[in-house]
Structure 1
Amino acid sequence: MAIRVRITLHFFIFQSIQFTVMWVLFVAIVVLNASVIAALLCTNARKSRMNFFIMQLAIADLFVGLIYVFPDIIQKITIAWLAGEFMCKTVKFLQAVVMYASTYVLVALSIDRCDAITNPMNFSGSWNRARALIVSAWLISIVFSIPLLILYEVKEVQGQMQCWIDLGTPRRWQIWMSLISIMIFVLPALTIAACYAVIVLTIWTKSKAVVMSPPINSRRTKTMRNVFVLCWSPYIVFDLLQVYDHIPPTQNNLAIATLIQSLAPLNSAANPLICCMFSPHIYTSLRRVAPYKWILNRGRSSSMTRAPVDTRRTQLLVLVSSRD
């Protein structure tokens, strides 16, 4: 009896932590990406290629919060699936589409930065190529998500109706998870890494007169690659170890797996932070947007009111020290 109570308590703790993490992720993804979109809409340089890709990435990541994270939060509240077979397939399909889109728009951005450095003379007139990269990213996401329309169904699981996927044998789960890992992690990570390698090689080999600003692009691509790997690795590695039976299916491990799976959208919260880090004009543009204008200006005014006090205090200390 004591063991059963302890297991139930541990599971409740993990569920509470997961629920909190999902809400924090949802708020962070929506607020950060909405802020980036608002800033880009207000900036005078929003028609630049870099801003175009940042905008597309922020839109994809915003959809991750609204379409992927929020329905999962609702599912945690209701526990049972109440929306029927059609919505089951539709929601799971759209969730997969936005997750893939967030990843492959990031890949498109990396390819574009690589193109900007390797072909600087032809870069300015390649807007059609930029749009083609974004369209391709969404088309790839849709194609990769189509199997979910077939595999997901509403069925009874432990006495409650759930939107469920059942592949049957462990071997099928191993193949499925391996394919998912390749499509959403391995292939994008290798592409981004290849773009970074080409950028670095080009910077080293071309003259300084041709590449004055690309080091910023290099650092941005490197940071995005590293953050992408850090955000996705726990989810991919744990799930692969689980389906290949390297992690025993204990109650605690199942709870940990559920918690780690809730971290899958973490990269969508990190992307806007990286974009702001390497694009200071986004922060500057936020000062024109309410309520950021009020918050930032209030912080600035409070610091300015403290400045005269600090100045008088410094002058007094100098006067005292001179008398000594």
Structure 2
Amino acid sequence: MSADNQSACWNSSLFDMDVAADGSPFLRVLVCAVYSAVCAAGLIGNLLVLLFIRVKQERAKSRLNLFIINLAVTDLQFVLTLPFWAVDTALDFSWPFGDAMCKIVLSVTVMNMYASVFFLTAMSVSRYRSVASALRNRSARKKKSCSAKWTCVMIWTLATLATAPTPIFSTVSDVTGEKLCLLRFPGGQYWLALYHIQKILVGFVLPMSVVSISYAMLLRVIRKRSMKTSNPKRRSRVTRSITIVVLSFFLCWMPNHAITLWSVLVKLNAANWDNAYYVVHTYAFPVTVCLAHANSCLNPVIYCLMRPEFRNKLKALVRRG
């Protein structure tokens, strides 16, 4: 990609990968390989999660399982966009699929990014509430199941609203002879900066704050009283698995959001475009994008490794094969 192309689409791309790639064939091949691997692993892993949690039989039994099902669906949709981005990267960010697919793929990518972190947040809050109210009667638990369904509806609604600017302003633009799938805002780089600030705050900072508070309160409850439960070991395992899922999300997405924040500061002229920024954006940023996408295939792996029922079902499936 030429320098003119980079300058033209600097204000427009979702992950600013146009600047990061800098025309390097090695980086493009690496990103394509990672996208392909994540797509394959994510498809297999999330389909196994949906298979193991029998939707008709087990969904109503556990509020947590309902959130896991929705998270698997979210991650599954997310990885299905990766082949499009792999082709786009292989062609040096020349979009071959047309304007309609640009809007659809970009919107699905963003919406499922929001939905994924929202469901992870809901799982953490749910874990705290279930431990804090372990002595409630069955009628209260039935109400919880109903509220969990409405929580899922609300999460998908919020994710759709947060994604609303994407299908409106995404378009395929001809930049010095190349067709690029971009976000074009009327206000230029300042509106794009606000768009990225929303992504950082709504898709990372606020959810992680809620998660941190939920786990701090959970630890406080556990320390203050011994819970009267028939299966404390199971509660401990589930809590540990959710903690690992949340930590994996944080570690996978934090580097990407940190560099995105740096790019926002550059767009707003609050930071200089210097050699350090260029080097980080050229060589480190593609790695953070791949790491962020990899989170969508890590969740089902964590479920299978951390939950005994998943491990047993996986062993049974392998034995049948």
Structure 2 length as normaliser, TM-score? 0.79
1:132 pairs with one of 147, 150, 153: 150
Question: Alignment partner for residue 160 of structure 1, among 164, 167, 178?
Answer: 178
Could you tell me which residue of structure 1 aligns to residue 319 of structure 2? 293
**Cα contact 1:38–1:286 (8 A) shared by 2:** no
**Count of residue pairs brought into register by the alignment:** 285
Aligned to 1:16: 29
* CA deviation profile, 1:248-289 (whole Å, cap 9, x unmatched): 364773354344323322221221122223311012112343
Q: Report whether the alignment pairs 1:180 with 2:206.
A: no
- The percentage of counterpart residues that share the same residue type is 22
**Hey, what does 1:84 align to over in structure 2?**
98
Residue 308 of structure 1 corresponds to none
Question: Partners of 2:172 and 2:78 in 1: how far apart?
Answer: 23
Higher radius of gyration, 1 or 2: 1
The aligned counterpart of 2:117 is 103
Report the equivalent of 2:216: 197
Contact map agreement 2:94 2:178 (CA 8 A) in 1: yes
Once the two structures are overlaid, the 10-residue window that deviates more, 192-201 or 72-81, is: 72-81
Q: What is the CA–CA distance in structure 2 between the aligned matches of 1:90 and 1:9, rounded to whole Å? A: 26
> Are residues 256 and 134 of structure 1, via their aligned partners in 2, closer, same or farther at CA, if it must alter by over 3 Å?
same
Q: State the 1:51 CA deviation.
A: 2.5
Tell me whether 1:29 sits opposite 2:42 in the alignment.
yes
Give 1:145 shift: 0.4
CA deviation after TM superposition for structure 1 residue 141, in Å: 0.7
Aligned position for 2:247? 226
Q: Distance in 1 between matches of 2:24 and 2:45?
A: 31
Aligned to 1:272: 300
Give the secondary structure class of the aligned counterpart of 2:228.
Answer: coil
2:236 maps to: 215
Q: Against the structure 1 CA distance between its residues 212 and 254, is the aligned structure 2 distance closer, same or farther, given a 3 Å change threshold?
A: same
Whether the 8 Å contact between 1:117 and 1:211 is mirrored in structure 2 is no
Q: Which residue of 1 aligns with 2:76?
A: 62
Q: Give me the whole-angstrom Cα distance separating, in 2, the residues matched to 1:258 and 1:158.
A: 24
- When the two structures are superposed, what TM-score results if normalisation uses the length of structure 1? 0.78
Alignment match of 1:236 (pick from 236, 254, 257): 257
C-alpha distance in structure 2 between counterparts of 1:229 and 1:260, whole Å = 12
Matches of 1:188 and 1:70 in 2, distance apart? 28
Unaligned runs of 5+ in 1: 1-7, 296-324
What is the CA-CA distance between 1:9 and the residue it aligns to?
A: 10
Code of the aligned partner of 1:124: R
Which residue does 1:319 correspond to in 2? Answer: none
Q: 1:42 Cα shift?
A: 9.1
Q: Which runs of 5+ in 2 are unaligned?
A: 1-20
Q: Aligned partners of 1:75 and 1:134: how far apart in 2? A: 32
8 Å contact from structure 1 (residues 40, 285) kept in 2: no
Hey, what does 2:162 align to over in structure 1? 144
- RMSD over equivalenced CA pairs, Å: 2.7
- Match in the other structure for 2:4: none
Look up the SS of the partner of 1:244 in the other structure: helix
